[in-house]
Structure 1
Amino acid sequence: MSNKTTAKTVLITGTSSGIGLAAAVASARAGWHTVATMRDTTRADALNKAAAEAGVADLVQVKRLDVTDAESVATCVAEVVAEHGHLDAVVNNAGAGFVGTIEQHSMEQLRKVMEVNFFGVAELTRTALPHLRASGGRVITVTSVGGMIGQPFNESYCAAKFAVEGFMESLAPVAASAGVQVAVVEPGAVASEFVNNVGLDIPTLTAQAGPYGPALEGYINHALEVFGSGTAQTSEQAAAPVIEALTAEKMPFRIQTSDWARDFVGMKLADLDGSAVQTAMTAWLG
């Protein structure tokens, strides 16, 4: 890729699979020089193949970035600016799911979930902001409907996504005063490797859950129903609003990726006493 490019440059995290991979290919298709980052660059084969098939391999540059490592973040951002002369957008997509309830997992596990899903987002955003101010750029963060509604057996994951939503909602007007737009993108169910990996031995999991076993079994059955019902989007469908935000003249702050996600989030926004959400989530437990 040529140095000091005039075309716009976007850095996207978590691009080895799922929404990140789809967003990287789509942003290149939209004409952006796309710096596609991942913690382990040996996992870049699927992205490189997809970029080649789309005819945009020359616009996709793979770099190593571990969002939980401040030195890795600083090095990657510095390299991008040195090579391209500017950074016009960051898409915070890297993240990791975690299913479990707090009584039965360690505080270390909770902290790891927060490191990847929240502190990693904050670190990259903090590092990129001086360059985004210089370019009049934007920060787009893939959160989740789980950043608006707490879901059973997802306390740690939802806590991290809630934190991201609060962080970005607070940052948005401040960043805008310096010419940087901020948005969050809230997918619902996405048929990706995250779900395939649920490859569940349900009887063993529920037995290990002790007093929470029946509720966990109900939650898992509900989740499998949702993903088998046609509600789940493909990674490409979920990534499309990310690219719309990337290329729009003015981004809205909060963007859902489907009608289902809009209805789900809308329940929370209209639920002043929390009863509607609690009733709905209790139903998920069977």
Structure 2
Amino acid sequence: MTDRRTVLITGTSSGIGLATAVAAATAGWNVVATLRDTGRADALRAAVEAAGVAERVRVARLDVTDPASVAEAVSGAVAAYGRLDAVINNAGVGQLGTVEQIGVEPFRSVMETNFFGVVEVTLAALPHLRASGGRVIAVSSLGGVIGQPFNEAYCAAKFAVEGFLESLAPVAASTGVQVSVVEPGPVASEFVASLGPSVPGLIAAAGPYEAAFKAYSGTTEGLFDQAQSSAEAAASVVDVLTAERPAFRVQTSGLARDLAGIKLADVDGSAVQAFTTPWLS
């Protein structure tokens, strides 16, 4: 049992999730840092040791696609600390390729992790968050605001997350629970490096989209020249975690705010199409 606030974070093996676990612990929170395979927690453990906050971080297994695993992790957090004040839904997977290249099954898989995983964790946590007056946070993406070429499955899942939480926010607020989404732009992390299948493989299988996919690959390389670090993105997540009254939608950089602003002011969709179509030429 503790008076220190407790946050459960999903997907902490690397990238924004790992950096958020370190930053939240440094900010004084008890952190339940979860990941699907605890055998991949070496980098996390090294980071919290280096930051001097290892005593505030509990590593636990959580597979967001397995309801039993979700329930066990949430109940374990409450059993360990006596309370749960926030969840940060960060776990996610990427998927490159247009539908004719990759087929339907990758869409189902990405939805299962990136969308239904958020639903499962939020559902399990809400009773405890009502008791603490806590909050739900999801690490979304600019891909949850702007539909991006050759990212149809990923963007569809992130759009779904934003629709779910934008709808939930006023309902949860009526019971004292705050809801926010955090939208990073380009971030230099292992998440990007692990996207599959490989770009050369996608180009080889692109068929009528070969020229467009080659152009897209060059465009995104340019965007990632402006990428922020995982730690910079995580700082924005922890700002939302600790703010007295966080906004519902928060971007993690000036670039992300500028790009999100294109969509949010685009009533007929023409501005987004004008922005993304040149990526393919």
What TM bracket, shorter-length normalisation? over 0.9
1:177 to 152, 171, 174: 174
Across the aligned residues of Structure 1 and Structure 2, the Cα RMSD in angstroms comes to 1.3
Cα distance 1:86–1:114, how it changes in 2: closer, same or farther (>3 A)? same
Instruction: Please name the residue that 1:30 is paired with.
Output: 27
Q: Is 1:257–2:257 an aligned residue pair?
A: no
Q: Is 1:7–2:4 an aligned residue pair?
A: yes
TM-score, normalised relative to structure 2:
0.97
The CA distance in 1 between the partners of 2:192 and 2:13, in whole Å, is 15
> Aligned pairs, how many?
281
The alpha carbon displacement at 1:199 in A equals 9.5
The CA distance in 1 between the partners of 2:201 and 2:114, in whole Å, is 28
The question of whether the paired residues in 1 share the 8 Å contact of 2:94 and 2:195 is answered with: no
Q: Is 1:39–2:36 an aligned residue pair?
A: yes
Instruction: Please name the residue that 1:205 is paired with.
Output: 202
The CA distance in 2 between the partners of 1:214 and 1:195, in whole Å, is 22
Instruction: Please name the residue that 2:89 is paired with.
Output: 92
The CA distance in 2 between the partners of 1:74 and 1:168, in whole Å, is 20
Instruction: Please name the residue that 1:244 is paired with.
Output: 239
Q: Is 1:70–2:88 an aligned residue pair?
A: no
Deviation per residue, 1:68-113 (Å, 9 max, x gap): 0000001111111112111000000000110011122232211000
1:232 to 221, 227, 236: 227
TM-score, normalised relative to structure 1:
0.96
1:281 to 272, 276, 279: 276
Is the partner of 1:152 in helix, strand or coil?
coil
The alpha carbon displacement at 1:126 in A equals 0.6
Cα distance 1:225–1:199, how it changes in 2: closer, same or farther (>3 A)? farther
The question of whether the paired residues in 1 share the 8 Å contact of 2:236 and 2:252 is answered with: yes
Q: Within 5 A, what are the aligned runs for 1:85-124? A: 85-124=82-121
Return 193-202 or 205-214, whichever deviates more. Answer: 193-202
Matched letter for residue 76 of structure 1:
A
Instruction: Please name the residue that 1:267 is paired with.
Output: 262
Q: Is 1:126–2:123 an aligned residue pair?
A: yes
Is the partner of 2:188 in helix, strand or coil?
coil
Q: Within 5 A, what are the aligned runs for 1:12-23? A: 12-23=9-20
Matched letter for residue 244 of structure 1:
D
The alpha carbon displacement at 1:123 in A equals 0.5
Deviation per residue, 1:5-62 (Å, 9 max, x gap): 1110000000000000000000000000000000000110101101011000100110
Cα distance 1:192–1:63, how it changes in 2: closer, same or farther (>3 A)? same
The question of whether the paired residues in 1 share the 8 Å contact of 2:101 and 2:202 is answered with: no
The CA distance in 2 between the partners of 1:274 and 1:25, in whole Å, is 39
State percent identity of aligned pairs: 64
Is the partner of 1:98 in helix, strand or coil?
coil
Is the partner of 1:206 in helix, strand or coil?
helix
Q: Within 5 A, what are the aligned runs for 1:54-69? A: 54-69=51-66
The CA distance in 2 between the partners of 1:272 and 1:195, in whole Å, is 30
The CA distance in 2 between the partners of 1:14 and 1:128, in whole Å, is 16
1:215 to 208, 212, 217: 212
The CA distance in 2 between the partners of 1:24 and 1:251, in whole Å, is 19
The CA distance in 2 between the partners of 1:155 and 1:279, in whole Å, is 18
The CA distance in 2 between the partners of 1:49 and 1:147, in whole Å, is 32
Q: Is 1:141–2:138 an aligned residue pair?
A: yes
The CA distance in 2 between the partners of 1:65 and 1:197, in whole Å, is 20
Cα distance 1:160–1:201, how it changes in 2: closer, same or farther (>3 A)? closer
The CA distance in 2 between the partners of 1:200 and 1:220, in whole Å, is 13
The CA distance in 1 between the partners of 2:145 and 2:18, in whole Å, is 24
Is the partner of 2:60 in helix, strand or coil?
strand
The CA distance in 1 between the partners of 2:246 and 2:143, in whole Å, is 21
The CA distance in 2 between the partners of 1:160 and 1:121, in whole Å, is 10
The CA distance in 2 between the partners of 1:120 and 1:85, in whole Å, is 24
Instruction: Please name the residue that 2:46 is paired with.
Output: 49
